[in-house]
Structure 1
Amino acid sequence: MQTAIPFHFFRGGTSRGPYFNRADLPEDRDALAQVLLSVLGSGDALNIDGLGGGAAVTTKVAMLSRSDDPDADVDYFFAQVSVLDRTVDFKPTCGNILSAVGPAAVEMGLVRPVGDVTRIRVLSTNTGARIEAIVQTPDRTVKYDGDAAIDGVPGTAAPIYLNFMDVVGSTCGSLLPTGNLRDVIDGVEVTCMDVAMPMVIARAADFGLTGYETAEELDANRAFYARMEPIRIEAGKRMGMGDVSGSVTPKFGLLAPARQGGTVTARYFMPKSCHPTMAVTGSQCLASCVLTPGTVAIGLFTPPSGMPAVVIIEHPSGTIDVTVDYENGADGFVLRSAGLLRTARLLARGEVFVPKTVWQG
């Protein structure tokens, strides 16, 4: 016997996974983790007994509900399920999965579309961040086809615009959780920053890398990971996050000069593997690092002109543009908002099954 759970299966940005109505899942966090491990098939490199795709970008889960917050329409609760070691991390959020939260909320009946364009106010319950998702809804249905393209996804689709607010210090409580623009850990200079996602950011050259390596080349370089992980763990302690050895946050990022006409080149780690493209949340943190004077990004780029500034981050599969409304004043870097263009597509919907021994339902 098995328990059936309604779900929608979306590609959101450059990630994908199941989207649930939170009411259809167990309230208890431990029971919820066991259900999600079963749904994704965690514990096998291919996730052969679940919906996962054998990579961190395909073992992600979104859980939605109508919000009780007067300034939000939908609560978005995210879970990162591991591919192999049967763990679930409820601490971070994911901006790529967020890309499909607006469409999913409409498909689930949590939000009623209004006109050709529907603005959906999303509250990320993992971090407290607030996001406006602008979704194309002609004839009061979600439009998925269109001319918008994002690197890392083949073809084109309807644009989804995401405007992020209240993302500075969303996890650690401040822009610079250690109180420093730069720290030195194990002989490597890093900037510890919390914008949308807490990150530890370093220069690729300080690890003997060019910064232009492919994700596959970096993942094969286990000596790099062996050096990077202790730095990430120590940085997590200094950022007030405690022992992060079992957590996917803070994430790690490497910077290098751009070579394809962008602002800067970056590699983003999840943290046990290199992201094949770029995380939406991570792109905001990296863009903020670039725009903040005195960080490890100094000397790697030519400052973007205009306001708001467009920071073009080159990643393994292309580029991602982050539009940043900010100021550098007496109080340092102040982020007003960060905007990105993403796409999403509904891939399937129906019921996913877990054994009754996992959850009775």
Structure 2
Amino acid sequence: MPKSSQYSLPATYYRGGTSKALFFREDVLPGPGPQRDRLLKRAMGSPDPLQLDGMGGSKAVTSKIAIVRPSTQSDADIAFTFAQVGVARDFIHYGANCGNISAAVGPFAIEEGLVQFRPGRSVDTTVKTQEVRIYNTGTGKLLSAHVPGTHEIAGVPGKGSPVLLDYRFTIGVELSRGLLPTGNASDMITVAKKEIEITICDIANLCVFANARDFNISGHETAADLTANLDWLAKTQELLGKAAVLAGAVVAPDPDPSKAHLAARLFLDKMCHESMAGTGAICTTACSRIPGSVVNRVIGDAMELDTLEISHAVGTMAVPSRLFEPSAASWMELYTYLIASGQMHLRNDQFPMFCHWVMASSSINFDMGGKSALT
């Protein structure tokens, strides 16, 4: 049998806070573009819900990449690019930062000899630290890591180094309008027909804050419980959309699920899809155009519209379509054509990326099944 072609490159596996990432020096990777994207997704084993053939751990917090190089800026020691890699979905996103992984950037830079010593600060004045000034390419902002120790962090067994991260220069990281982009300490919006108080802050990452009681939760629920709560998910999507409009992050709110033409949940392999499969949305739209079908009876007068709004578990999907007057003989041809040529705009398909010492260092072999990772 012919041997599979493999491509090897050095990588280091770090935990940062409650996340883990593969760390690469930028000079061992191909330049930005499809080749790099393909290689990094391959390293994580994506797209695959289990990420069995890569270093990912089947969750967003363990499907991360850090790319580090010496900085050319006088006010930074290194440049750090954070990449969030999709688990089951085929994507890689560079336009943000991760606070957890940022805690491991300083230690990596020191271990790799990328920085010269600069005295740092520490909460414990008896502990000497080294400052590493980091420029995050995704946000265009500076932060400093003060790297020493042992420190425990909730959600992670064992101890590691208490890396102090200074985020003072990341105010206005997303919108460049200061700490409070609306200019107010609090604002009122309507979610699920109820007026609630929120605060929008922009430092390190753009976040919106609301009281748990306004969503009929205690704030002590597990992540699994909240993920399984479809009512909660729908409300948070409405909250995010309206807060984004208020802050000026988007020009129009995400579609209100209550105004969608129908609500749909897609089941595959005994599991409810977390949102809505694109092919499922196309089929739903096609079915809605068939007089007398179950979907057609649900949407009513929306039959006459060019776009069908489908509310799913985490938002609303708009599917444009063109409707021709069919004859009985051409019916299947018509809807085969519609499915093949339908255009889809997936709103609510991108989410903000909210986001300590070395675990292992190794050379990673990429088995590309006879095809180079760089082609």
- TM-score normalised by the shorter chain: which range applies? 0.5 to 0.7
Q: Which of 360, 364, 367 is matched with 1:351 structurally?
A: 364
AA matched with 2:97: T
Structure with greater helix share of residues: 2
One-letter identity of the residue aligned with 1:134: H
2:234 to 215, 226, 241: 226
From the superposition, tell whether residues 122 and 183 of structure 1 become closer, same or farther in structure 2 (CA, over 3 Å): same
Question: 1:166 aligns to what SS in structure 2?
Answer: helix
Relative to structure 1, the CA distance from residue 349 to residue 248 in structure 2 (aligned partners, 3 Å threshold; closer, same or farther) is farther
Alpha-carbon distance between aligned partners in 2 of 1:82 and 1:101, rounded to the nearest angstrom: 21
User: Residue 219 and residue 112 in structure 1: after superposition, are their counterparts in 2 closer, same or farther (change >3 A)?
Assistant: same
Q: What does residue 204 of structure 1 align with?
A: 212
> Of the two, which has the highest radius of gyration?
2
Q: Alpha carbon RMSD of aligned pairs, Å?
A: 2.3
**Which AA in structure 1 matches 2:167?**
F
TM-score by length of 2: 0.64
**Deviation digits for residues 181-240 of structure 1 (CA, Å, limit 9, x no counterpart):** 314043343322211101122111111111111222212212211221233133334433
Q: How many residues align?
A: 262
Q: Return closer, same or farther for 1:32/1:58 CA change in 2, 3 Å cut-off.
A: same
Structure 1 residue 360 corresponds to structure 2 residue 351: no
Q: Quick check: 1:182 aligned with 2:187?
A: yes
Equivalent position of 2:132 in the other structure: 120
C-alpha deviation, 1:4, in angstroms? 1.9
| Unmatched segments (≥5 aa) in structure 1 | 137-145, 252-269, 271-278, 280-342
The answer as to 2:250 corresponding to 1:147 is no
Q: Equivalent residue for 1:130?
A: 142
Task: Report deviation, 1:352.
Answer: 4.2
Asked if structure 1 preserves the Cα contact closer than 8 Å seen for 2:39 and 2:374, the reply is no
- 1:157 maps to a residue whose letter is G
1:166 Cα deviation (Å)? 1.1
Structure with the larger strand share: 1
- Report the 3-state secondary structure (helix = DSSP H, G, I; strand = E; otherwise coil) of the residue aligned with 1:224: helix
Are 1:246 and 2:254 matched, yes or no?
Answer: no
Please point out which of 10, 22, 27 is paired with 1:23. Answer: 27
Q: Is the 8 A contact 1:89 1:248 kept in 2?
A: no
Question: TM-score if structure 1 supplies the norm length?
Answer: 0.66
5+ residue gaps, structure 2: 120-127, 255-346
Rounded Cα–Cα distance in structure 2 between residues aligned with 1:219 and 1:63: 31
User: Is the alpha carbon distance of 1:89 and 1:134 closer, same or farther for their aligned partners in structure 2, counting shifts above 3 Å?
Assistant: same
Q: Distance in 1 between matches of 2:365 and 2:110?
A: 20
Q: Percent identity?
A: 34
Alpha-carbon contact 1:21-1:63 (below 8 Å) kept: yes
